[in-house]
Structure 1
Amino acid sequence: MLPEKLHFSPLSRRLVEASFTGGHITSDAGLLLLREVDRQHGLTRRLAKIVPDRRDPGRVQHGLQTLLAQRIYALAAGYEDLNDHDGLRHDYALQTAVNRLQPLAGKSTLGRLEQQADRETVVQAHRLLWEHFIAQHDQAPAEIVLDFDATDVPVHGDQEGRFFHGYYDHYCFLPLYVFCGRHLLVSYLRPSNIDGARHSWAILALLVKFIRRFWPETRIVFRGDGGFCRHRMLDWCDRKQVDYVVGLARNTRLQRMAAPAMQAVAEAYQETGQKMSGVYRFLYQAGSWRRRRLVVSRLEHGEQGANPRFIVVSRFAEDAAQQYYEDYCGRGDMENRIKDQQLDLFADRTSSPRWWTNQWRLMLSAFAYVLFERLRDHLQGTALARMSIHNLRLKLLKIGAVIIRNSRRIRVLISEAYPHQELFAGLVARLKPT
């Protein structure tokens, strides 16, 4: 039996006592912000319409939208495992966020929901992401850049589709991500025994077809590293008027063609002793290409010697340096978005033996990411606007509060020591419908 009071070492002349009588206290009061964001955009409501529900209607206690919101909000708050929900189901903040006053679903119910996902569910969930992306624009943009990249998700069991990958040196999956700026468009699970560009052509074709239904005049640019430089994909882009900025693997022929410019950069380094760089453009045709294409090379020489890099582009820009350092190297920001997905929203929790369950977990993380991005829209002009999801969670979701419920109202008493009170109050004012 628990004692009424817990005694600690005194502070000066004052006794330090504790007891378990403080009422219902949460560490996730900021989940109410995500609730308002979700109400504005209807993400979990729309997602619930595409998830198959094979339960007996007479025995259902938790609606699909409630289950989806519970799982997605918990991921956003940093709870990665289904096991966490055996305790979270009693948390007043999470209950309020998903519009419930009773205990939420436990791990078993949520686990059975994940087992319902199939290929069609994942396809429709991606379609919802694309529709949401279009809806975030008041008018068609003049240009959009579709960033493609692959990464590894280590696996430690006998999951369906697991293979050993020589480059990453472990068993893993090889998901493909597509972003347009900060907008997540594709989170596609793949086995790792394939070419890193596998399926990217088909996904690009589907994306271009979908986007042009709404924005027929928008210039679309396909951007990726050297792993996506495949001649059939470039040929398709040429036929469909899709521009591209793609990395090109270094080879002796490319280096020979850039040798005069490389020599000039090397001589400049010898004269100054400082690392020197330059940009050189030329036409090049690989053996598998149908025609010559435009290549931009970034030439660099320093203490380690020459370090040339190459990209293939569909058109030359006026400023060659800008085309390399901004138009191509800008894709590096996508790696931060992937980190948000895998490190902060747990898209790497692919421990189910079923393939489509693991793919569905990537989608749940994707929708948690979208909620954060819509919350970020209201942070423009503040110090938090460009923070990682990890830091946004700490500053806006992980808020201590006492929650008191009665028949008339739910009172959330946030700690007086919370350091972002004005920002939080401003967010509530902007998010809550008038």
Structure 2
Amino acid sequence: MGEILNDFGLEFNGSVKLEARAERLTSEAGAVLLREVDERLGLTRWLGEMLTDTRDEKRITHSLRELVRTDLLLLGQGWRDHDDADALRRDAALRLAVSDSKSSVPLRGKEGGAEGLASQPTLSRLTAMLAREENRKVLHEALVWQTGRRLRAQQPKGQKLKQVTVDVDGLPVEVHGHQEGSAYNGHYGVRMYHPIVASLAETGDLLDVRLREGNVHSANGALEFIDELLGRVEKEVCEVAAVRFDAGFPEEKLLAKLEERGTPYVARVRNTSVLQREAALPRFMNSGVPLGEPGTHLYEWEYQAQGWSRARRVVLVVLERKDELFPHAFWLVTSWSKEQMPAQALLEHYRQRGTAEGHFGELMDVLAPALSSARRPKSKYRGQPPVQRAVSIDAFANNEVRLLLNALAYNLVHAARVLMEQATGEGWGLLRVRERVLKVAARVLLHARRVVLVIGRESASLWQKLWTKLGSLSTAQIT
């Protein structure tokens, strides 16, 4: 029996009592599923080998793999703040999921090498260590590596896909404070960062994110970002990667670079007065569609915009909408020829960007990255003013690390989502996966060397369905 908490008397039903027991109870049982997804893909093992550990070996309690895994699992389970790690240090399911130790060792105190999860200061120091340039480079590469492992595991003999589409866009990340590099952005009307992000159109996996200052243009740094990313994607994921992006990105240097490397692309072109005159838009207003009937009309030609080095294929899309006097129009520019991608197919292909925007939205709404690192010089040291007010962190780099870790955690939960969709034959949102599959209450029982998680029947049914598909993540055939 435990301690009855008499102070918690319920007015609506006095027969209900609250009892506290010293048992291993958790609401995070799904962390063991995320760990299994990680284990099948080998992500944290790979990161442990590739990252540079700068810690003093004599003071290490948690391995680098365990620290990174702790961060990823906490983010995947919905815990955004490192302060939450302190409150969850004794959580049995998280300790099992994070530990490199086998059997029941992770739950037996110091026998497991540590008495609980890493503390908030330890995880904050991890972020600072990952902010080193060589480690951030590894985290960028890890997103494509992770995606490639998952997709190639489901291919015969682990080969790469033939062709994929990479969606690229800018993403507003609102901040509350004066984090280094953040700024007020008049277009969005908030103080924010403006990272550039890329995803795989066909699957929804995130491929890379790069933090940028809050007031930069959408195309800022896009050339280097896309060029480096395509090299990694065509090494790990596919033979040929096409690119799709919005009106803020097309510029001569980027388009020329994509054409030079033979990368197919389609992008929206800004609706300028020059283009309107070139297209002679008024002549399309009476294009044969009965008044009041909606219709879509496509016209194409070779067009050379000011600043372009040559003429390119441009498709004008004219939308006549019911009860609207003037039609709506926009332009697409592409490197595909008419034979490779007819105008109607090109429009449908471009419109599928909406799926990518939905995945970006899930990253922001479900994981909701907290980019709060800022330079805070010490005002006191052991009760006295410090001799030197040195700032030991690169706050901008720290925030990029937090964004990258959120993207890696997104991909882990997304992998579980894909398995659930395959197992049930229905769509699953990221939030639904977290609430129904990951945030599961359990009682953790220890029997000698065996650990038993006791969960509800409904949750067990969903877990069993997911388990039938976990074998598809076997990466043994991938070289």
Conserved? CA contact 1:258–1:280, under 8 Å: no
SS at match of 1:332: helix
Conserved? CA contact 2:167–2:356, under 8 Å: yes
Give the counterpart of 2:128 among 112, 115, 121: 115
SS at match of 1:196: coil
The C-alpha deviation readout for 1:128-148, integer Å capped at 9, x for no partner, is 222333333232333221111
Q: Which residue of 1 aligns with 2:307?
A: 288
Conserved? CA contact 1:261–1:280, under 8 Å: no
Q: For 1:189 and 1:319, how far apart are their aligned partners in 2?
A: 36
Q: Which residue of 2 aligns with 1:168?
A: 188
Instruction: For 2:462, give the aligned amino acid.
Output: L
Equivalent pairs, count? 423
Q: CA deviation at 1:421?
A: 3.1
Q: Which residue of 2 aligns with 1:334?
A: 356
Residue 307 in 1 paired to residue 328 in 2?
Answer: yes
The C-alpha deviation readout for 1:208-261, integer Å capped at 9, x for no partner, is 333445689x33312100101111111112222111101100123322315266
Q: CA deviation at 1:8?
A: 2.9
Note the 1:86-165 alignment, pairs <5 A: 86-99=86-99, 100-101=106-107, 102-116=115-129, 117-135=131-149, 136-137=151-152, 138-165=158-185
Conserved? CA contact 1:258–1:297, under 8 Å: no
Q: CA deviation at 1:171?
A: 2.1
Conserved? CA contact 2:268–2:331, under 8 Å: yes
Q: For 1:183 and 1:215, how far apart are their aligned partners in 2?
A: 11
Pair 214,41 (structure 1): closer, same or farther in 2 beyond 3 Å:
closer
Give the counterpart of 1:423 among 456, 462, 465: 462
Q: Which residue of 2 aligns with 1:203?
A: 225
Q: Which residue of 2 aligns with 1:246?
A: 267
Residue 363 in 1 paired to residue 430 in 2?
Answer: no
Pair 78,280 (structure 1): closer, same or farther in 2 beyond 3 Å:
same
Instruction: For 1:169, give the aligned amino acid.
Output: G
Conserved? CA contact 1:25–1:400, under 8 Å: yes
Conserved? CA contact 1:47–1:65, under 8 Å: yes
SS at match of 2:58: helix
Q: Which moved more, 1:39-48 or 1:136-145?
A: 136-145
Pair 56,340 (structure 1): closer, same or farther in 2 beyond 3 Å:
same
Instruction: For 2:35, give the aligned amino acid.
Output: R
SS at match of 2:344: helix
Q: Which residue of 1 aligns with 2:77?
A: 77
Note the 1:213-252 alignment, pairs <5 A: 213=235, 218-252=239-273
Note the 1:401-412 alignment, pairs <5 A: 401-412=442-453
The C-alpha deviation readout for 1:180-216, integer Å capped at 9, x for no partner, is 2212111110112322111111122223333445689
SS at match of 2:165: strand
Q: For 1:74 and 1:140, how far apart are their aligned partners in 2?
A: 31
Q: CA deviation at 1:268?
A: 2.0
Identity rate, percent: 28
Conserved? CA contact 1:154–1:348, under 8 Å: no
Give the counterpart of 2:343 among 320, 343, 350: 320
Q: CA deviation at 1:422?
A: 2.4
Residue 400 in 1 paired to residue 410 in 2?
Answer: no
Instruction: For 1:336, give the aligned amino acid.
Output: G
Q: Which moved more, 1:119-128 or 1:86-95?
A: 119-128
Q: CA deviation at 1:51?
A: 3.4
TM-score by length of 1: 0.90
Q: For 1:264 and 1:319, how far apart are their aligned partners in 2?
A: 24
Q: CA deviation at 1:22?
A: 7.0
Pair 318,118 (structure 1): closer, same or farther in 2 beyond 3 Å:
closer
SS at match of 1:93: helix
Conserved? CA contact 2:144–2:236, under 8 Å: no
SS at match of 1:146: strand
Conserved? CA contact 1:75–1:346, under 8 Å: no
SS at match of 1:78: coil
Q: For 1:384 and 1:62, how far apart are their aligned partners in 2?
A: 40
Q: For 1:407 and 1:106, how far apart are their aligned partners in 2?
A: 28
SS at match of 1:227: coil
Conserved? CA contact 2:304–2:312, under 8 Å: yes
SS at match of 1:378: helix
The C-alpha deviation readout for 1:144-198, integer Å capped at 9, x for no partner, is 2111100111222222212222212232111010112212111110112322111
Conserved? CA contact 2:443–2:454, under 8 Å: yes
Q: For 2:139 and 2:60, how far apart are their aligned partners in 1?
A: 23
Q: Which residue of 1 aligns with 2:210?
A: 188
Instruction: For 2:218, give the aligned amino acid.
Output: G
Q: For 1:172 and 1:15, how far apart are their aligned partners in 2?
A: 51
Instruction: For 1:191, give the aligned amino acid.
Output: E
Q: For 1:335 and 1:15, how far apart are their aligned partners in 2?
A: 50
Residue 378 in 1 paired to residue 401 in 2?
Answer: no
Q: For 2:48 and 2:283, how far apart are their aligned partners in 1?
A: 58
Q: CA deviation at 1:382?
A: 4.2
Conserved? CA contact 1:76–1:345, under 8 Å: yes
Instruction: For 2:217, give the aligned amino acid.
Output: D
Q: Which runs of 5+ in 1 are unaligned?
A: none
